[in-house]
Structure 1
Amino acid sequence: MAAPATATILSDEEKAVFAELRNEHEKHRSVMIKMDRYYEGVQRLEHIGLAVPPELRRFETVVNLPRIAVDEVERRLDVKSLMLPDDQIANEDLRVGWEYNDLDAQAPQAHKEAMIFGRSFVTVGSNEEDPDQPLMTVESPRHMSVKIDNRRRQMTAALRQYIDPERKTDSATLYLPNTTIWLTRDNGSRWNVTDRDDHNIGRVPVVMFLNRQRTGSWFGTSEMHDVLPLTDAIARSLTNLQIAAETHSVPQKYVLGMTKGDFVDKNGDPIPVWESYFSGIWAHANKDAKVGQFSPSDLKNFHDTVNHYMALAAAITGLPVRYMGQQTVNPAAEGAIRADEARLVKNTERKQVSFGASWGWSMSLRERFRTGEFPRNGRIRLEWYDAGTPTMAQRSDSIQKLSGGTPILSREGAWDELGWSEARKARERQYFLAQESDPYFQRIQEKEELNDPSILRDPVQEPDHA
């Protein structure tokens, strides 16, 4: 539980760490803003090197490839169960803690932020209202900065900056190995300590999620990185296509030998411009005038260019080309779907390993806050749902053929193969218990046993029809 603050200002050592982390955050702030704009699809064409006049601003068109590259992978990252290091079955206490912190909803945010910016964070802390349920919160790198000891490969400090919704002031949380400090800034520039939690766990209560980590790097790589140039190129092509569609795809008319005075109605009043454009110039009394039209432009070159860029994006990201609008029908069979999504599935499985390790350490920190000790023999283990498109019929048929048609799964094993959560399996067990005690079902079972032709009767009891 958080103890009352013993000082209203930071110590000299804490001030040095605080200033270093603030400078580190400012150093990468522009990159974070850029990635956020690309993911939201709100980058402007001047930001990608194309000067668009104000009168043509309405033709700007951006295809959000970055969002596709992130979301299609994130949708397949669903946590199934959590287990203690020495166990082979899901742990009920861990599931309760997961649900208490609403991590079914927050976990996708952690995965998404890591894939957008290259990294994200989960913070763990004491819960004054319920000490048995430590608080776990997903944090974006837009608000977090960390300090890493490269020799020990360990986090030594972390800082979260935010606006306090109640005080409407700049606020921050400084995470140190044995202390978590909450601060607010006064009307000047001084930061004051408002609360302090001396948890003494010996490590920073923050876990980092890294996407596509490189050796020696603690920033990760955005999942969108490879498609940003193609996003820019497609935006340019589509903007040019929009302008060309307005100016060259519609046949342009011309009139020779006529003056403005010829565009009048039978009463001698001038004909409005658009009326003369669509109708008036086709019927006139000037025998010397000539009316014609220019040949319209074929915009197929724009279509082919955009389709080529989209195919390149599919090749780079490993997504099926049909995800990029390059195919009008889905693969005909389940096996074809699996083959089509092989790279996407393998990419997702790699992230399950990486993100799973981070979630394991996050849950281990929770256990440390809850019980006072880290789990024995390492971090918590996670099971994930299958990253591939479900093809249960094909897999079941193959298993049955390989086993000669004999059952190979128990009831609980079949539930695992179906991907049921622990909550669903627990509910189903209650249904079975209720069914076993229901006399109606007992009578049905007895009747089935009597009518089962496979039951061999004693030949002595059989009537003699000789």
Structure 2
Amino acid sequence: MALSDDEKTLLNRLQIKVMRTERRNRVLEAYYEGEQRVEQLGLAIPPELRRFLTIAAWPGTYADEISARTTLEGFELPDATEADEELWRIWQANGLDAESKLGQLDAIVRGASFLTIGAGDADTPDAPSAEGGDDDRERTAEIPLITVESSDEMAVELSPRTRQPVAAAKFYTDTSVAPSVAHATLYQPNETIWLERRNAAWAEVDRDVHNLGVVPVVPLVRGARLAKRDGRSIFTRIIGLTDAAARALTNGQVATEALAVPQRWAAGLTPADFRDPKTGETLPTWEAYFGALWASANPEAKFGAFSAADLANFDTIVSLYAKLVSGVSGLPMRYLGQATTNPPSAEGILADESRVIKQVEDFQTALEAAYERAMKIAVRIRDGRWDPRMEQLETQWRSAATPTRAQAADAAVKLVQQKIIPREAAWVDLGYSAARRKKLAELFAAEEARDPVAEIARGLAGNVPPPAPADANVGG
């Protein structure tokens, strides 16, 4: 079946959106890596001084800190007290422990990334077996395929009514063949179409009429606004300050090279003093300045030196920009290379990071809806029906705060001793995973079963006979 005119128009519209996003992403990626170009700084530097360019890598520090504190630990169904094992099996079978981190970092840096959900196929192997070898089973519809996609390759259109995708497309190039081939996948509520670029036009390769009723693509968005649902980069407010700091650092590098050492002066020189004595050619300006000029046989030549320049003003201006970035981003000053006099206490650290923690919690709230929708679609693909329990699915997150281990353990012990929370809740507060909590419960149960005092108590209660004394048969 060939693409309809509406499908062609939709595909072209989404491709234009991807191309525009890709251009913006290149700039944001440069700021993340600390590789922004001189032109982006608005600073005219002569070619011979470009090696002095110094970049403040604060955007990358900001993004990495938010990303490192955003960790999903499980999914909980209504009326359950522990993470659902089947949902977590789908999550881990798709390698989303690591892949979700990549998607979250892209959402932080670029504003958005995407999850695509589909039925597993025979070409996609399942997760490694528990014994450590490759599992011989092949992925089936019981383990839906969930992948994380970049906004460099994918775009969506949202319904103005439901705010959910009504169409999506992915554009990518297969470089494993020569010549390389451009591909596209068009996602619609009831069908998915795979296309290939042939003769400067998109040709349909395959079409899957799945009748899901929803587009199996979920955006992971950071910083969405009512009028800007596509999200925005976390760098938006600090790019100008980062550029200003880079200009100050670059000027400081040049000043260090030229003014940190006392400047010298010369008087009474003639044009002959600026020529190479062997070749007679005029010396290059920088070679004359830094080298042979200071040795002259001219009796009229006089030399001297000025006092070295004080470069403390560059430290002052960079510290000022760091304070402004801290004020805008909420990052503690020590994260921006500004050391404090005394090391902070545990309470001081928590107070200092309060704005960062709140940003992470708000980001988690935005991700919750996306991950829950993705798992809802995955269960629909697995079971062939919509599970009403999934409407109340909850995500479990690791704490975004960074208290010390001793501090967290001490708080958990006090809460359990005062019977404010049960022991299992303390394990959650300490950051143990669902699998780890299950193993701990089994270990405690086995330990209690071996406890002789507990066995006697059960025997006295009439549950089991108490153990016989060790010398019961001695004597007669």
Q: Same fold (TM over 0.5)?
A: yes
Tell me by how many angstroms 1:108 deviates: 1.1
* 1:87 corresponds to 2:80: yes
Q: 1:135: which partner in 2?
A: 145
**C-alpha contact (below 8 Å) 1:84/1:375 kept by paired residues:** no
Q: Tell me which residue corresponds to 2:93.
A: 100
By how many angstroms is 1:133 displaced? 0.6
Identity %: 39
* 2:320 corresponds to which of 308, 318, 322: 308
1:152 and 2:158 correspond: no
Q: Secondary structure of 1:28's match?
A: helix
Code of the aligned partner of 2:172: Y
User: Which residues of 2 match residues 58-77 of structure 1 at below 5 A?
Assistant: 58-77=51-70
Give the alignment's Cα RMSD to 1 decimal: 3.1
Structure 2 partner of 1:389: 402
Partner SS for 1:226: coil
Pairing of 1:28-43 with structure 2 (within 5 A): 28-43=21-36
1:341 aligns with 2:353: yes
Gap change, CA 1:330 and 1:120, over 3 Å in 2: farther
Q: Kindly provide the amino acid, as one letter, of the partner of residue 171 in structure 2.
A: Q
Q: Alpha carbons of 1:28 and 1:286: their partners in 2 closer, same or farther (altered >3 Å)?
A: closer
Question: Secondary structure of 2:238's partner?
Answer: helix
Distance 1:118 1:250 in 2: 46
Q: Can you list the C-alpha shifts for 1:287-313, whole angstroms capped at 9, x where unaligned? A: 765432112211111111111101110
Counterpart code for 1:131? A
Residues 336 and 150 of structure 1, relative CA distance in 2, 3 Å threshold? same
Shift of residue 252, structure 1, vs aligned partner: 2.3
Shift of 1:433: 5.4
Q: Does 1:234 align with 2:249?
A: no
Task: Supply the AA of the counterpart residue of 2:163.
Answer: R
Aligned to 1:122: 115
Q: Which residue of 2 aligns with 1:363?
A: 375
What letter is aligned with 1:386? S
Q: Which residue of 2 aligns with 1:166?
A: 176
* Structure 1, unaligned runs of 5 or more: 1-6, 264-271, 448-466
Q: Which runs of 5+ in 2 are unaligned?
A: 123-139, 275-282, 457-476
The worse-fitting range, judged by mean Cα deviation, of 208-217 and 98-107 is 208-217
TM-score, length-normalised on structure 1?
0.83
357 and 278 in structure 1: CA distance in 2 versus 1, 3 angstrom threshold: same
* Contact 1:85-1:375 within 8 A present in 2 as well: no
Q: Is the 8 A contact 2:412 2:430 kept in 1?
A: no
The residue number in structure 1 matching 2:203 is 192
Aligned CA distance change for structure 1 residues 401 and 88 (closer, same or farther; 3 Å): closer
Rounded to whole Å, the distance in 2 between the matches of 1:132 and 1:333 is 50
Alpha-carbon spacing, 1:258–1:207, altered in 2? closer, same or farther (3 Å): closer
Aligned mates of 1:277, 1:368 — CA distance in 2: 74
Task: Specify whether residues 275 and 262 from structure 1 end up closer, same or farther in structure 2 by C-alpha distance, changes over 3 A only.
Answer: closer
Give the structure 1 partner of residue 428 of structure 2.
416
TM-score by length of structure 2 reads 0.81
Indicate which of 18, 43, 56 corresponds to 1:25: 18
> Secondary structure of 1:156's match?
strand
Judge conservation of contact 1:322–1:330 (CA < 8 Å) in 2: no
Bigger mean CA deviation after superposition, 409-418 or 228-237 = 409-418
Q: Does the aligned pair in 2 maintain the 1:331–1:337 contact within 8 Å?
A: no
- Further displaced range: 342-351 or 62-71: 62-71
In structure 1, the residue corresponding to 2:166 is in which secondary structure? strand
What is the aligned residue count? 426
Distance 1:73 1:400, change over 3 A: same
Q: For the structure 1 residues 391 and 131, does the alpha-carbon distance in structure 2 shift closer, same or farther, using more than 3 Å as the test?
A: same
Task: For 1:199-210, list aligned pairs within 5 A.
Answer: 199-210=210-221
Q: Report the CA distance between 1:166 and its aligned residue.
A: 3.4
Rate the CA distance shift 1:97–1:356 in 2: closer, same or farther, 3 A: same
* CA drift at 1:326: 1.5
Q: Aligned-pair distance for 1:349?
A: 0.7
> How far apart, CA to CA, are the structure 2 residues paired with 1:60 and 1:275?
24
Deviation at 1:431, TM superposition (A): 3.6
CA contact (8 A) 1:84 1:91 kept: yes
Greater shift in the superposed pair: 384-393 or 250-259: 250-259
Q: Which amino acid aligns with 2:221?
A: L
